[in-house]
Structure 1
């Protein structure tokens, strides 16, 4: 079993990290492909879908089309959540960055377009959250708002790749 290490980044450090993110052009309307999880993961994702907040980081929930129990979005440009994604290859990297927010571990990946992608760790299903660069000014606020629903719907454990 390969578990990446969590670096102790506090909210101020991550806010600073997010604030200095690169400034390349980003597409304001990302394509949102719904994951195709196995039956066990699908059940957890449907439970999460019911628990997700109506607002996140001050943004109203407006799920992307096509509607799916495996995707959710807030604001424009959208904070995108996908549940039941495959394990990211980056999780096998012992140098990968991770953070813990209110009891939920996340793999942190800065993307070339200035956005950040977070994927849950040590949960029975992988949940991916993408923060567009325009939504990074509030640091971890979106992850704070997602912690309780994730803890309630996705138990701790090791997710199987499907």
Structure 2
């Protein structure tokens, strides 16, 4: 039995579809941003924060390519994602949890598997979460960029 392989020829529209699909990634952080559902009090802090967020972070322009919401923002096509009004992370109950301070704002550090770091504010009346792509895993610059806006709009809980 002889088998023949025929070349597959795609028409122009099929070729465009294949090329467009190749440019899409299922790991696109912006496409997977979940909008939090905070209380009205927390949502008010988040609305104020949203208005104060910087236009650029770590050299990346704000694009808000995820869902349109006052509770989310992104820079660099989802390389840096901020969500305001998230639930209190369970990791905050761990006395061995790691954290950092960036220009006066305290952040809990979590390292999900196969992803960049996730930071959540501590000692604030609203939890603000920042997720960084692996490209920013060792760069505190993004957190420092958010510090003035967080300090201005989200009161301390202490």
Report the TM range for the smaller structure's normalisation. Answer: 0.7 to 0.9
The residue aligned with 1:89 is 90
Q: What TM-score does the superposition give when structure 1 sets the normalisation length?
A: 0.77
Please say which structure displays the higher CA radius of gyration.
2
Computed over aligned residues only, the root mean square deviation of the Cα atoms, in angstroms, reads: 1.5
Q: Distance in 2 between matches of 1:36 and 1:68?
A: 11
- CA distance in structure 2 between the partners assigned to 1:38 and 1:156 by the alignment: 17
Provide TM-score, normalisation by structure 2.
0.79
1:18 corresponds to:
none
Classify the secondary structure of the residue corresponding to 2:114: coil
Rounded Cα–Cα distance in structure 2 between residues aligned with 1:29 and 1:111: 14
CA distance in 1, matches of 2:116, 2:152: 27
| 2:153 corresponds to 1:153 | yes
- Distance in 2 between the 1:51 and 1:36 partners? 20
The alignment of Structure 1 onto Structure 2 pairs a total of residues equal to 132
List gaps (5 residues or longer) in structure 2.
1-25
Contact in 2 for aligned 1:77/1:134 (Cα 8 Å): no
CA deviation string 1:66-104 (max 9, x = no partner): 200000000034200000000000000011001111100
**Which consecutive residues of structure 1, in runs of 5 or more, have no partner in the other structure?**
1-25
Q: RCO (CA 8 Å, sep 6+): is it higher in 1 or 2?
A: 1
**Closer, same or farther in 2 for the Cα pair 1:62/1:90, shift >3 Å?**
same
Secondary structure of residue in 1 paired with 2:151: helix
Name segments (4+ residues, structure 1) moved above 3 Å: none
